[in-house]
Every structure is written in C-alpha cells, then in structure tokens.
Structure 1
Amino acid sequence: MSPALDERDRIRAAMDCILGGTPQNSNGALTIVALAQEAEVPRNALTQRHLDLKKEFYERVKERGSTPDVEIRLRAKIVQLKETIANKNKELDQLRTDVPGLVRVVNELSLENRHLRERLAELESNVHILPIQRQPRVR
C-alpha cells in the first residue's frame, strides 16, 4: 500500500499541533504513537517511511525542553491510578486474610446450632396436640 500524497504534510501539521499543545486526534503525548494518531497515519509511516520526520520530531521535543501540560496531567493521573491499585490490592489481601477466620466462625456457629437443635429434639415437649373435635354441621 502506497502512502498518501499529503502524508508528510499531515505529519508536520501534527507535530505543530502536539508541540503547540493543541492535539485534535491524540492524547498529545510526545511520542511517535501520539504523532501518528494526530496525523492519522499508521505508526510505521514514521518508523519505516519517514525516518527523517521522526528524527525531526524528537529533535523538536528535545529543543523544547519542557513537558506539555497534557503529559503532566496524564503522568499525575497514572500516579493516582497506581496508588488506587495499590490500595485495592492491600484491601484485597486483607479480605483474603479475613476469609479463613470467617469460615471458621461460620462452621463453629453451624455446629453449635446443630447441637442446640439436637438437644431441643431430645427434650420432652410440654405442648400436646389435642385431638380434632368435629363440630356438628348446621343446616
């Protein structure tokens, strides 16, 4: 499949959008993947066909020296999500630790309940069932 005629122009325009902090089709990260998404070209367009544009992009990123706000926000979100995952893993570990104890308590209570039911069945009941008395029919 041959590349589109305007592919190089779209890549250069995408560079300007990403480096200008106004991405339209990507997350704005300073990566080849984001650049390809922004230019709406396959990634291999930059890694195989237009190596000069790939090199130019990385040089412009290096010259710029600062990280764009989008990337800063994404990195902060990643940190937050990693903390959330760590907290959830800690909570899950605690629950896994608690389960055997809870199972043991349920078994003990079930055994105690069975013993109480057996004792209750052994006791002589002071409730007596009265015979059924038929009432005369009224006609």
Structure 2
Amino acid sequence: MTPALDERDRIRAAMERILAGTPERSNGALTIVALAREAGVPRNALTQRHLDLKAKFYDKVRARGQMPDSEKRLRQQIVKLKELREGDKAEIARLQADLEALVRVVHQLTVEKLQLWTELTTPDTRVRVLPTQPSPTD
C-alpha cells in the first residue's frame, strides 16, 4: 500500500489545526494518535514514514511552552510509580524486621527443643525420694 501523495500536506494542515485549538476530526489532544486521526492517516504514517513531521509536531508543542499529552501521562505515571516504590520500601523494611524476629524465635525454639530432647534421652542417674503416704497414726 502506497501513501497518498498529499499525506504530508494533510499532516501539516492537521498539525496547524490541533495547535490552533480547532480540530475537526480528533479530540485535539497533543498526541500522534490525535494528529494521525486529524490528518486522516494511519498512525504508522507518523511513526514510520514521516518521522520528521512527528518531531516537528512535538517541537512546536514544546516551543509553545506546552507538554505533549503522552509526556504528561508518562510524568503522572512516574509520580505514581515513585509513590508505589516508597510504599514498597516501607513494606520491605517491615518484612525484614519481621524476618529477623522470626529467625530469633526459630533459633530459640531450636535451642529449647535440643535441651528437651537431651533431657528425654539422657538416663537420669539421680536418686529421687518418693513421697510417702502418711501413716494412720500420724
């Protein structure tokens, strides 16, 4: 499939409409998807064939002091991921503390088990005095 001869002109016109805030076919977002929809071309026309127009579009957006919508979304996602990472750090610290406590408990129980096992398996050579029953005269 060959691109239409006027494809570059349609993209340039769509670029101007979106930047002017007067889109006709798209939602006017500052994205390549909206630009492609506005120009009536497939998205890959901008991502594969007309990379220079894609770069020019983003350059114009930035020159106006604006940020492309895709960049805004990515920045918001970065903020969310950083928050999640901080939460994960706190949880990892709690889990490490719990792990250390559990290791101590397991060690203590192992020592106690060994002591009890030793007591059970070692013959007792001590002589024990058994309690006597009280005599009837007492």
TM (normalized to structure 1)? 0.50
User: Relative contact order (alpha carbons < 8 A, sep ≥ 6): 1 or 2 greater?
Assistant: 1
Structure 1 or 2, whichever has the larger Rg, is 2
TM-score normalized with structure 2 length:
0.50
